Chains A and B, each alone.
Chain A
Amino acid sequence: MSSDKKKMSRGDLGLQIIIFCLGFFYAIIYYIAVPGVVDLQAVSDQLLAYITAVLTAGFAIGVINLTRVHWINIKRKRATWRYSIILLIALYSMLVFSVIASPFALDPNATVIPASVIQFATPIWEFLYYKILVNINASIFSLLAFFIASAAYRAFKARSVESTILLVAGILVILGQAPIADLIWPGFSIIRNWILAFPNTAGQRGILIGAALGIVVFSVRRLVRYPW
């Protein structure tokens, strides 16, 4: 983009050199080894561990943002301010109970936190996690079935040649997938297998190869700050 053409400041240049060196290091260790001198893979793993530690600290950013956004909602009494109260209570109560009683508890051996507090918090955490969070998660996931139905209704309308081909191919694949299909006509499952193995795979691989090439070029472009 046009901004890339601007002259880099010293700070930007330094940062760009660090980005290039690290990126190049991670790319090159896939192809070369220096046996007996240094285990490049171990160095890379160690560096990744540092990065993971830094990134984990970034979770605080998420919590701070959630708190700020919803606190403003409550303060200004916006239309959904009641939901914001529920969200903040849920967020911080889950945080407190997880710190005390979850499998990732800070003090599982009750060295600092009294055992009675852990005993009190454990069933509450289990209830919040297994009886509420897991079930809500499953419910939201299962909504997908209804969304698929409405998306399929929109997609399978014969409005043009392409959508008619999609409609016919879709019907044939659905018929081939149904247990009753082979009883009606054994050819359905053969057609289904052919559609999935050839036109479908060919199309998917075309996109995959293009995307892989795009990722490689994009990565190199970013590493050397190549403008486009």
Chain B
Amino acid sequence: MIELVPGRISQGALLIIVLVAVFALAWIAAKKKLKTRGIPGLETIDDWIKEAAKLKRPVFYTPGTGSIGTPDTLASMALLEYVAKHCAEHDAQILVANSDPQVQQMTEDIVKAAYTKAGKEFSTDMVRYISTRQFAYSAGVMGILRREKPAVNFFVGDFQAEALQIAETGRTEAIYQFGGTTNLDQLPFFTTTCDQTLIGEELYTATGYLSEDEEAISRLVGPDAGKILAILLILAGALLATLGATILIDILGL
């Protein structure tokens, strides 16, 4: 007999409500072609890549130290698809550095597919595995940034303490730097050292904004509506707690 796990019923119900609301609003927004807020800096990625191609300097991309199961890494793969495609189109050399062997395989496939599709030659040393050890990876990336002097650096994905080391090293040589992570401890470092930073959930919606499909851009209203729902729930909780009512806490504790 199937049983609901006590203490998780309200979480499941809340998840379903939020998902239904987000996807329903995304569908309505796509039908009505609604416009949503933009993420500053995303539209300049293409220009940066063109400039790197003009200077004949590489474009560097790293998804950080997360494994293939980390949401930030998966979101980073979607952005890599975009960057690799544009590098291939503009004849810019891309350099990808990985710390996880499985991510290495995935990034290699993405870059290879982008270059093959554009009819450009793919070389093995475009996508490099550095090390699973955090600081060996950091030292390896710092070495690449110093030696190969990329014009544009993308640090998008799951980063830990190595974030500042590589971003600061990149700062000294690169013309543009683009950061992005949901790790709260590393975000301040990226905002300090990068020209543009994807903060928190922007990482998950960035590829939607980069899409050429207008309906896809409209659908991004959905996640924003989810945030409004979360804000309303927080405000209701704060108000009820101030008035001494525990109804919301009781419901969420189910």
Contacts and interface: CB of A to CB of B under 8 A. Distances in A.
Contacts of A2: 211-213, 216
Interface stretch (A14-22, A100-108, A186-194, A218-226): A218-226
A27 to B, nearest CB: 9
A208 interface: yes
Interface of B: 1-5, 8-9, 11-12, 15, 18-19, 22-23, 26, 67-68, 71, 74-75, 78, 81, 101-102, 104-105, 108, 124-125, 127-129, 132-133, 135-136, 138-139, 147, 161, 164-165, 168, 182, 184, 187-189, 192-193, 199-205, 207-208, 211-213, 216-217, 219-220, 222-223, 226-227, 230, 234
A183 interface: no
Contact of A32 (B2, B184, B216): B2
Contact of A209 (B8, B67, B205, B230): B230
B227 A209 contact: yes
A39 B133 CA distance: 36
A5 interface: yes
7 contacts: A1-B213, A66-B129, A140-B139, A141-B135, A141-B161, A204-B184, A222-B74
Contacts of A59: 101, 132
A42 to B, nearest CB: 15
Chain A contact residues: over half helix, strand or loop, or mixed?
A: helix
A147 B139 CA distance: 13
Interface string A124-159: 000000000000110011011001101100110000
Contacts of B187: 207
B219 A228 contact: yes
Nearest to A155: B192
Contacts of A65: 101, 104, 108, 124, 127-129
